[in-house]
Structure formats: structure tokens, C-alpha cells
A and B are shown apart, each in its own frame.
Chain A
Amino acid sequence: MAGRTDEFVVEAREHLSVVEVSLLALEKHPGAADASAHFGRCYRSVHSIKGDAGFMGFSRIHELSHAMESLLSGTAQPLPSSIIEMLLSARDRLAVLVDDPARSQSIDISDLLPRLALNTSEPGRGPFEVNLAAWNASHPGGLGDFIRQTATARKVQHGRVWINPCDLRDNLPTGPIRWSGIADVADGTEHVEQLVVDLFDVTQRRGGLISWFRELHRLGRSITGQVRIADTDLRVELPGRPIEWWGACETKFSSEELAHRLGLSPPSKPPTSAEGAEFQPASESNSTAGKSTATAPAADGEKSTTLRIQVELLDRLMTLVGELTLVRNQSLLAFADEDGPQRAIIQRLNSVTSELQDATLRARMQPVGNLFNRFPRMVRDLARQLGKQVEIDLQGREVELDKTILEQLSDPLMHLIRNSVDHGIEMPDERVAKGKSPVGHIVLSATHEDGQVHIQIRDDGKGIDPQAVKSKALSLRLKTEAELERMTSRELFGLILLPGFSTAKKVTEVSGRGVGMDVVKTNIEQLEGTLNIDSVPGLGCSMVLRLPLTLAIIPCLIVTVGEERFAVPQRDLEEVVCLHPQSPGRIETAFETEVYRLRDKLLPIVRLHEVLNRRAPFSPEAKAEILASQSPDMDTHRIEYILVLKLAGRRFGLIVDEVRGTQEIVVKPLHASMKRVGIFTGATIMGDGRVALITDAEGIIEHARLSFEAAKEEVVKSAAVRDAAQAHRVLLFEYGPQEQFALPLIQIRRIEMVGPERIERVGDHEFVTVDGVSTRIMRLNQVINASSLDADSAQMSLILPKFVTQPMGILVTRIVDTESLAIDLQQHADQDAGILGTAIVRNRLTLFLDMHRLSEKLFGVKVAPLAATRQTKRLLLIDDTAFFREVVKRYLVSDGHEIVTAIHGEDGLAQLAKGDPFDLIVSDIEMPVMDGWEFAREARRRGIKTPMLALTSLSGMQYENKAKECGYDSYEVKLDHDRLVRKVGNMLAALEATR
């Protein structure tokens, strides 16, 4: 019984959701083409609930659904919204009843019934039942009157009077006398079908009476029904055949159709005996017997190919597949070295297991529409309550997600949508005032993206005010002002998800998005998902949830530490860095943490074996101990594997001893008593039968007390220092036997080794192919007055410079070293055009090359002639490095400008104070005494309006933004001649235009 009740509840809930969706559709588009389809679905679902409830004996549910059905059938289409409103509230009450059918009897629905009944415009169509005794008492005309009325007003089929059994010799019947029948058979397509069914036969063929009766209820309304059994003395034996059900059913299906659907022999044919019962094709009998109601309401007349299945059974199947996967892995291991026939068998086992695993996982997938469908109602009700107008648009309902994930997604999604309606969408008048449509829109969409499901909630409301978030964060002391400045908008809005943020009282200050958002975040993270918020103030807000498709089987990287194996989920993993003793990168120390410089970013490092061996979360002392134990020379002896793990935008490196490879593993939850061990999320059984633990990146960060803030700060700082340091170094090299040359490092893209065999000749020109690009070779003796080579040596280098218009490289015979640029450059009147000047470096006369001029010479481009018509402009150039000052000055002078130089910010200010106006100021950033930032601020403070261009070796958005804040009009990278000249030209032209 309990099982059947559960089944009833599941089905009824599905019907209820259909009712809701259809009613909302009818309300929204009453005149739409598919309105009658919606109406039909709604009607059928209510009818099904009624039928099932009647069958199960849940009379309250039956009563209420009957009332709803009557109201539906009694009201002319399109349904007025008052009726829809009423039906919706009746549906909700019905949902309450259905939740616990056993107790539904005790729930009072007397308030609803009269309201529903009052709205029935014509008196009952369809089955009815009248208490004649009561009627007689309340109507002066008595029963005669009733019969006359009935006869004139309605066509009644199958009228019948019910009297409680009593001995008429003693008295007239005392109980209710009821008159029942079917009034006014709906639309002529329905008729009453008399059925005589051999139940024995039904049991044999259909496997059960219950599903058969259910089917019968679905196809029509049962009017009468009774079971007839041949007279048998039950003391002696069970009744023989036939056991028959005699009944009548109002249906719109023809006799043949009905018989077919119910699996009966056509009426014309004599009933087949049980022994001779020919089985129907399996597919057909299955599909009707186990017909799924998930699709049934919409496709009543079609054959369904789906099957209802117990969730426990599915879970069990999943576990078994997991075990099979394990056996497969074990077999693969055991027969890895075999070459014989076993190999083929194992491979077959392997592929079948994979497919089975895949299919089972898919069986657990459900369309997100199941979840999405409940939101239109919620949005509608909430909007009404708040006096707003909100429409929700559902997209990608067919996208599927694992059942478990879908179930747990309900609460967080509901919360986010509620927030959107409550705090995002403005009141209609407010919206109109802003020039928006009074109706707010929320789009809820699901899409597949790189193996994940993205669910987005987008609204066109007022959005989140970043300033409000900032001030809130400041007042809560979550971040400092400097930290907030550096944050991207995504990071900033991410603050809302922090626990402290949400519980703040005046949530309206931050658009009120804070309520319980941390709970939402936690829920989503439990599903291995992430949540990102983005918003354009005034235009709306978008929240994106990224979720894995399933949680049961995941790909992992198997690693070892000592003797132990661990599985690191691939979704946490960004890359693996293998640090050989010879590789250039090293693990360094910064901010009491080990760090690794990965492509210009500092990666905080955690050693997994330290995490495993230290039970307590890392204290500062423990961190110091770990650092002390890592003597620098240790690194040189072994290979370090750094797993780069990412977590909601944070990255860190996890050092393990060995990497074994990737494997699909079956996730088993960690034992409940071990849940407090935060560094693992679960366990799995490996191919050799041993258990391995699955690491939890979040837990490891937590345990190691990793500080990302320090790393972030350090990234910026160290990058700046390094860039600056590099910017002020030159590469020393030789070409011919006599001279030493120098070129600033920031002008060098990279250095390539070349042998003479790679050099190709085309006419007078020589080329080398580098990265698939034909690169012109420059021999210094051909462009400047320098010594030449007698013969090319076997191993030469090619310096590939930056900022050149065509691919070229300087051929050199020996790279000497790099050297600081803090050198005074000597200039000679007769020096070559390709040389900036000379200096003595390491006791040798060194020629500093002018890369720009050299490339012009090589490619034969003429130096741009001075525009005679153009006025000479006066520029102030501030740079502390003589070399750069010289290079930039040359660039600008050759462009026809008058240049005044200064050696640092203060010197620059002094030049400005002299009074002669400048047309443009070009300043370096990194300078002693007063740097470029301070200079610009001070200049602007003094009211100097001259356009300013920051010229620096520091590249990156953060610098560009800072430059703007300090008062620079523009920003350019040093030593790119063409860009610099163009930028200066543009700035001057703009200045001209404003005058």
C-alpha cells in the first residue's frame, strides 16, 4: 500500500506541475493558438488526479480535484483570470493534500469547495451524484419536481438510484438515497462503453490489476463497476474462472481503440482463454503498462517510450556500475602485460563498461525544465505581492543535469530568483521614469559549455551599485581601500557572497542582494559548482552558475606522496608543471610562503606531504619550519611536480612526489565520522583494490592557511621591480672580432640559435626562418662602420628585436652578458647614424645601437622628411636614464620637435616653473627623487594643463589605469619608435584642434 501511495504522490505531483504550467500559460496568452492544448492538458491532469485519488480512496483529494474539474469543464474558454486565480489556489491546496495523502482527510477544504462550485456557471456536466433525501427536504416540489427538472434540463445517461441495504420489511431506508448518473455527455465524441472484462485474463497478461485500472481511468471516466465471481464455496477452493469486472466507462475512444489500449480482445472476438493468450509485442504491452505520466498528460494518445523507475534502483545500478568500473580497472591492471586472447576480452570489457557507465549516468539525467517550471509561478506570485510587473523567460529547459544536482539546485536558484524580483526589478513607475518598460524581465537559461552546465539568471533591474558594495566592504573591514581599487568588478561583486556581507542589516544599501547569499554560495559549492555575479548599475544583473553534469564518476589525476596515492579531480587542475633540476624556474620564498613564478605570476606553493603530516592547520611557526626544511640545494637533486590548482579564480601550486596519470574514478563519500578531515572530499577504489583518497583543493588551502592577498600584492610588486630592473639592463654581444655592442633588453623579443646552414640567400639579402616566418638577417658591418666576419661560425645567435616593422634579426657571434644601463653615454659628432653613443663597459669600448635607425637602414626606408608646414613643438622629456633620454629624444627630434630634457620629476617641475610653455610633456615613471606618478599629480595640482604622456617600460592595465588617475592623458611603452611618434603626433594634433 505504501508503495502505491508513493507512486500516487509522484504521479499526482507531476500532474500538479502540468496544471500549474498550463494555467499560467492560459493566463498569459488567453487567446493563443495553443490555448486549447493547454486547457486540455490541464483538464486531463486534474482528471487523472481525481481518478487516481478515487481509486486509492483519498476522498478529500478526489473531492477537491472533482470540484476543479467541474469548474474547468463548466467555464467557457478563454478562462477569465479570476477563475485561473481560483484554480491556482485550489491547485496549491491540492498540492498540500497530495503531499501526505494519508492525512489529507483531516485537511479542511470546506472554504474552497463552495467558491469553486459557485463559479460553475452551468450545473454539472459529467458524472453527478445527488442526495435525494436532502433534495426532497429542501425543495417544496419534492422528488416529482426533481425528476421533471432533470428530464427537461439535462440529458442523463446511466441514471441510477443508490439505497443503503436495509430490510424494507422493517422500515424505509434511513441513510442517504443518492441519484447518480452522467449528465449532458460532453461533446458527442464521448460515449458510454460497457465493458465486461475477465480479470483473470488481465492479471495474466498485464501482470497486475492496478496498472490496468489506472489505465482505464486514464482513458475514460468509470461510471459503474463491480466484480462478479462465479459462485464458489470458498471453504473448498478459490473461485474458478471467470472472475469478471462489469462496468461502464465514459470515453471518447472507440470500442476497438479502448479494447486495444486496455489489452482486451476486440469485442467482436470471443474472449481468448488464458492458456492461449497470445502475448502482444513486448514493446507495446510494456509501453502501455508502464506508461509514464511524465509525458502522458501531453501525449495521451501516443505511445510512450519512457519507463518510470525507482530512484533507489537507479542508485543501486549506479553503485553496481561503479563496482564494475572497479573490476574493469583491476582487470586492465592484471592483464596489462598479456598479449594473448585475454587482451581482446579485456578491451571488450573495457569498452562495454565505459558505455554502460555512460548510459547509467545518462539515466540519472533530468531536464532542468523540471526545476525551471516552478519559477514562473513563484515570480508571478511574488511580483503581485510586491506590486511589480515581472516576466520570467525560461530558456534551455531541455538541458539535462544529474538528478542529485538538480534536486539540490532548487533552493539556491529559488533564492537567486527571489532576490532578482525582490531587489533587482524596480517598481513599474520607477522603471518608466528610467525609460524602461514597466514590465521587468528575468531570463533563466541553461546551456552546455565545455562539459559543464551554465545556468544564468539575468534581470533588467537596477543592478548592483559597486560603490555601495565598496563602502559596505570597507565598513565591515573586509578589504582595504587599496585592495578594493585593485579588484575587478567580478571580484567586487563576489564579495556579496561572503558570509559577513549578507547578514548586514541594511541590505538595501547594496541593492539588497546580500540576504543569505553566502548560503547560496555554499550550496552551489557543495555541488562542485561556482557562482559569478556581474552587474551594470542601472541596467541589470547577471548571475552565472557553473555546474558539473554529474558527481558520481569524475576524471582525476592520480598522484603519489611517499607510498600514498591520491586522486586530484581534474576540474580543480589547470596544469602540471614539471620542475627539472636544470629548468630555469625555481621555487622561491616570499611573504613566509614558498612561491613559484609561473609566467610572470607568483603561485603560492603548498607541499602535499607537509599538509598530510601536519594535523593542525598551519601556524606561522609551522610555515617557518616548512621553509627552513626546504634548503635551496635540495631542489637541485630531484624533479618537483607542481599541480597548478584553481579555485574560484585563486590559483596555487600543490607539490607532489609523482604523477601517475589520469583515471576515471567512482566517487564514494568520505565516511561520515571523518567529515571533519577537511583536506579530502571522498574516497575511491583503485585498480589494485586499494582505497585512495580524493583531495579537496579548498580544504588544502584552508589547512595550509594560504594567503592569496600577499601573493597578489607580490605579483604586482615583483613584476614591477623585475620589469624595471630588466628595462635598465643591456645585452652585450659581439659580431666582428673588434667591437662590443649593446642593446637594451626591453628592445629584445628573444634570442634564437642559428647555424650557417639555416641561412638562405635571396639576392643580396639573407634570411632565416624563425617560427615559420622568414626573417631578414642584419649583419652589423653592412649597416654601420664595424668589423666584418671572415667566416660564419658553426653556432651563432640571432637577436630578434621588438618594435620593428618587418621581421628581422641581428646576427651575432657571441653573447657576452647583460649589464646595467646606468652608464653615461658618450656622443661623437662623427658617429654613425645607427649608433646612439659609446661607453666603456667592462673595460671595452661598447657601441650602443639605435635599433630603429638600424632597421630603417636595413630595409632602406628613408627617414621621414620633416613636414615643412608643421610648426615646431616644444616638448619636455623626463627620464632618469641617460640612454633612454637619448633614444627618445632622437625619435622626437627626428620628428621635428624641440626637446627639453629633465632627469627626474623634480627637475621636470623646475623646467615647468621656468615659464616657457611646453606643448607636451613626456615622462618616465620609474625615477629617483620624484617618480612619474608624483610628478604628474604635482603638475596637475599646480594647474598645468599641458597634455602629458607616460612613457614607461611597465606594461599592463593596472599601470595604464594608474597613469590616468595621476593625470596622464595617455600611456605608451618605451622604445617603440613608430607608436611613440604616432602617439605624440596625435596628441599634438588634438591640441591644435582645440585651440
Chain B
Amino acid sequence: MSDTPKLFCTFRLEGHLFGVDILDVKEVTTETTTTRIAHAPEEVRGLVNIRGHIYLALDLRRLLGMPGTAITGETRLVLFKPTIGQAFGVFVDEISEIHTAMSDRIEAYSATDVLASKLRRVDLISAVCKLPDELLVVLNPRRFLHIVEERLEGNGE
């Protein structure tokens, strides 16, 4: 790995710190007005209008197997770049700061971790990063839409 530090856009879910590579993020918005898509799996919050473009908004809590929660004033929608997947984003409880981590602080995720018991979808985690006083779980947003599609396929039965 190179020695260039990695930047993570971090946010909180159930008090835990999560992050995604900042290069994957298009923008973070306060827009929380969604339109429900009937028949979509529960991980899908609905459709959001961002300046005339329609985005699919997912519930990251549900994606990770956490209990759902209501939208609050702190709720943000993290939108991803088109390279990650077609026009979509995830709702997070609150946005945190941007963390810089040198590559030597980033480790592969081990399933024995404390969080494992809490998270249903450990396959969404790409790495963990030990910050001075906290553990940052780095997620792989490229998997998000796949999970929704899989769930939708299983719907028919």
C-alpha cells in the first residue's frame, strides 16, 4: 500500500462510527423527503428529488441489520458517485467529521469483532481503522444496491 493517507467521510449509526472512502461520496444533503416505493424491500426508504434528479435512498441501518429509526434533524443523506452505482444514497443518523488515516492504521475486518454480533451484514464492511479513541468501520458502498436487488428477487416467493 502506498503511504498517502486515506480520507473517510464518517457518520454515526446507533452511536457507532462508520465511514466510506471520501472519493466515493458525491455529496451529503439534508434532504429527507422520500417517496415510498411500494413492494420495495425495507432497506429502501424511497425516492428523493435532488435538484431535479431522482435518487434512490436506502436505509443504512436496515442494510446493516440494525433496527430502523425515525428521521431527525441530524439525519443526512449521503449520495454516492455514479461509479459506485446508479443514482443512490443512504440515510445516516448523523454526519461526523472527515477522518484521515494512514494506510498502516487500516486493517482488514475480522469477523470476531465486537460489532459482528450486532451487524447482520458483515459483508458490507471492507476494513476497520483504529482511531485514537474509537474504531472506525469502513463500509463498501458498492455492495449496497446488490443487497437491495437480492432482497427484491427473494420477494416473489
Contact = CB atoms under 8 A, between A and B. Distances in A.
B116 interface: no
Nearest to A565: B35
Given A668-B54, A671-B47, A671-B88, A564 B35 contact: yes
A685 B38 contact: no
Interface stretch (B7-15, B71-79, B104-112, B144-152): B144-152
A674 B54 contact: no
A703 B39 CA distance: 11
A680 B39 CA distance: 10
Interface string A314-341: 0000000011001000000000000000
A677 to B, nearest CB: 5
Contacts of A680: 37-38
Given A677-B40, A693-B35, A616 B155 contact: yes
A674 B35 contact: no
Contact of A673 (B52, B86, B155): B86
A267 B153 CA distance: 73
A764 to B, nearest CB: 70
Interface string B124-144: 000000000000000000000
B49 interface: yes
A610 to B, nearest CB: 11
B39 A679 contact: yes
Contacts of B148: 673
Given A616-B156, A671-B88, A677 B39 contact: yes
Contact of A693 (B33, B37, B155, B156): B37
Interface string B7-50: 00000000000000000000000000111111110001011110
B64 to A, nearest CB: 18
B141 to A, nearest CB: 13
Contacts of B85: 673
Contacts of A673: 56, 85-86, 88, 145, 148-149, 152
Given A671-B47, A677-B40, A690 B156 contact: no
A677 B38 contact: yes
B47 A617 contact: no
B87 interface: yes
A691 B54 contact: yes
B56 A674 contact: yes
B65 to A, nearest CB: 19
Interface residues of A, number: 28
A685 B52 contact: yes
B66 to A, nearest CB: 21
A692 interface: yes
A624 to B, nearest CB: 20
A672 B56 CA distance: 10
Nearest to B157: A616
Contacts of B46: 691
A689 to B, nearest CB: 5
A677 B87 contact: no
A160 B120 CA distance: 82
Interface in A673-697: 673-674, 676-680, 683, 685, 689-693
Interface residues of B, number: 28
Given A564-B35, A613-B38, A673-B145, A691 B87 contact: no
Contacts of A564: 35-36
Contacts of B38: 611-613, 615, 677, 679-680, 693
Contacts of A691: 34-35, 46-49, 54
A689 B32 CA distance: 12
A685 B39 contact: no
B39 A615 contact: yes
Nearest to A666: B52
A690 B33 contact: yes
B58 to A, nearest CB: 9
Contacts of B49: 685, 689-691
B51 to A, nearest CB: 8
A35 to B, nearest CB: 54
A623 to B, nearest CB: 17
Contacts of B56: 671, 673-674
Given A564-B35, A680-B37, A691-B47, A674 B86 contact: no
Q: Which of B34, B49, B88 has the most CB of A within 10 A?
A: B49
A677 B35 contact: no
Contact of B86 (A323, A671, A679, A683): A671
B48 A671 contact: no
A616 to B, nearest CB: 7
B152 A690 contact: no
B155 A326 contact: no
Given A691-B48, A691-B49, A691-B54, A674 B156 contact: no
A671 B153 CA distance: 15
A692 B35 contact: yes
A27 B64 CA distance: 69
Q: Which of A323, A612, A685, A691 has the most CB of B within 10 A?
A: A691
Contacts of A615: 38-39, 155
A676 B52 contact: no
Contacts of B35: 564, 683, 690-693
A672 B152 CA distance: 12
Contacts of A674: 37, 40, 44, 56, 152
A221 B124 CA distance: 64
A690 B33 CA distance: 7
A685 B54 contact: yes
A326 B152 contact: no
A614 to B, nearest CB: 9
A671 B87 contact: yes
A692 B153 CA distance: 23
Nearest to A680: B37
B54 A683 contact: yes
Q: Which of B39, B149, B157 has the most CB of A within 10 A?
A: B39
Contacts of B36: 564
A683 B47 contact: yes
Nearest to A685: B49
Interface string A594-616: 00000000000000000111011
B118 to A, nearest CB: 26
A140 B35 CA distance: 88
Contacts of B48: 691
A617 B149 CA distance: 18
B142 to A, nearest CB: 13
Contact of B152 (A322, A323, A676, A693): A676
A690 B36 CA distance: 11
A617 B156 contact: yes
Nearest to B46: A691
B145 A323 contact: no
A613 B34 CA distance: 17
Contacts of B40: 674, 677
Q: Which of B38, B152, B157 has the most CB of A within 10 A?
A: B38
A692 B56 CA distance: 13
Interface in A514-539: none
Nearest to A563: B36
Nearest to A319: B52
Interface string A262-283: 0000000000000000000000
Interface of A: 322-323, 326, 564, 611-613, 615-617, 668, 671-674, 676-680, 683, 685, 689-693, 703
Given A683-B35, A693-B38, 20 more contacts: A615-B38, A615-B155, A616-B157, A671-B54, A672-B86, A673-B88, A673-B149, A674-B37, A674-B40, A674-B152, A676-B153, A677-B37, A677-B38, A680-B37, A680-B38, A683-B47, A689-B33, A689-B49, A691-B34, A691-B35
7 contacts: A673-B145, A674-B152, A678-B39, A680-B38, A690-B49, A691-B46, A693-B38
List the 4 closest A-B pairs by CB distance, nearest first. A612-B38, A323-B52, A691-B35, A691-B47
Interface of B: 33-40, 44, 46-49, 52, 54, 56, 85-88, 145, 148-149, 152-153, 155-157
